Amino acid sequence: MSHIQIDNLTKIYVGRRTQPRTMHDPEEHSGDNVLVLNNINLAFEEGEMVCILGPSGCGKSTLLRIIAGFEAPTYGTVKVGGRKVRGPSDQSIFVFQHSGLYPWMTVYENVGLGLRHIDDEEDKHSRIQEHVEMVELEGFEHYYPHQLSGGMQRRAELARAIAVNPDLLIMDEPFSGLDFLTHMKMREEVVNMHEFLRKTTLVVTHDIDDALIMGDRIVVLSGRPSAIKLVHVLDFPRPRNFEKDPGLSRLRSEIFLMLGVPYAV
């Protein structure tokens, strides 16, 4: 039994979205049906880092949101750890594309969100501190998110997610909007953290290089309606390098071609 099991998953949006996504608003739908995900079957192992690639608007984020329990599938089932997903849970923590940190809370308070039920104040404090240090934000505990740089905000959100010790970590385009160097550092940090904690992690990205460098397994989705184009287990040694690893380089060319960009190769 795999850790995450997705069977015959289909998602149809009733009516085109004219408004920003909201979590629940069944009344607002009308008009055409849009098939977003078409009969997706996937299985991921415990501890894997899975990178999901696809053209923009293909439903990658929808897939993640269904796995996280924010949206219900139209048909099919999603199981995490053998249990069917019925709604959001603190066992699958979502790291949002744009900051999901609460701006009215300090880094310390944000990281402590998932630990708020611990009664022992000392234990709580040491756990918060441990996670703040893990993402190298010590000294910034009492800063508000707006006082931090973009990269630091992402790290703080990562710390908040990991502090809950969830079964599953879900990241939607975790590096979008970061400058090149911060992007690279952040990517390294996520890889290191995954090496260290071995937590099942799903990462949606549109960056092929990110997916190939980070993933234990990559999934390539086609444009809407999304179907699976490729599932590939990457057993290249880390740290990975396109120049030194001809296999990886070949795969990269293949995926670029698959996504319709032959010249980038």
Partner 1 sequence: MDDDGKPTLKETPLYERETGNRFVRSGLLSFLSIVVIWELLARASGWSVHVFPDPWAVILSFIELLRDGTLVRHTVASLYRVTVGFYLAVLLGVPLGICLGRNLTARSFLNPVIHFLRPISPLAWIPLAMLWFGIGDPPAIFLIFLASFFPMVVGTTIAVQNINPTFFQVAANFRFSRRETLTRLILPAIMPEVITALRMTVTIAWLVVVAAEMIAVQSGLGYLILDARNALRMDFVMNGMIVIGLIGLMLDGIMKRLGQVESSQWGRHER
Which chain residues interact with partner 1 by CB under 8 A? 20-23, 25, 27, 68, 70, 87-90, 92-94, 96, 98, 100, 102-105, 113-114, 144-146, 164
Instruction: Compute the distance between CA of residue 1 and CA of residue 81 in angstroms, rounded to an integer.
Output: 9
Class of residue 93 by CB neighbours under 10 A (exposed 0-12, middle 13-18, buried 19+)? buried
Instruction: Give the shortest CB-43-to-partner 1 separation in angstroms.
Output: 24
The backbone torsions φ and ψ at residue 106, rounded to the nearest 5 degrees and listed phi first, read: -75, 170
The smaller minimum CB distance to partner 1, of residues 25 and 179, is found at 25
For residue 228, the minimal CB distance to partner 1 (Å) is 26
- Between 145 and 215, CB nearer to partner 1: 145
Please, what is the minimum distance in Å from the beta carbon of residue 172 to partner 1?
A: 10
Q: Which is nearer to partner 1, 104 or 196 (CB)?
A: 104
d(CA 151, CA 181): 10
Nearer to partner 1, 25 or 45 (CB): 25
CB of 25 to partner 1, least distance (A): 8
Rg (CA), the chain: 19
Query: What's the rounded Cα separation, in Å, for the pair 170 and 28?
Result: 27
Is the CB of 137 or the CB of 220 nearer to partner 1? Answer: 137
Distance in Å, CB of 96 to partner 1, minimum: 5
The strand order across the sheet containing 92-95 reads 92-95, 168-172, 200-205, 49-53, 217-221, 228-233
Distance, in Å, from the CA atom of 145 to the CA atom of 99, rounded to the nearest integer, reads: 9
Q: Which is nearer to partner 1, 71 or 216 (CB)?
A: 71
Looking at the DSSP bridge assignments, the partners of residue 6 are 42, 78
Shortest distance, CB of residue 221 to partner 1, whole angstroms? 22
- In sequence order, what DSSP letters do the residues of 21-46 get, joined into one string? --S--GGG--S-EEEEEEEEEEEE-T
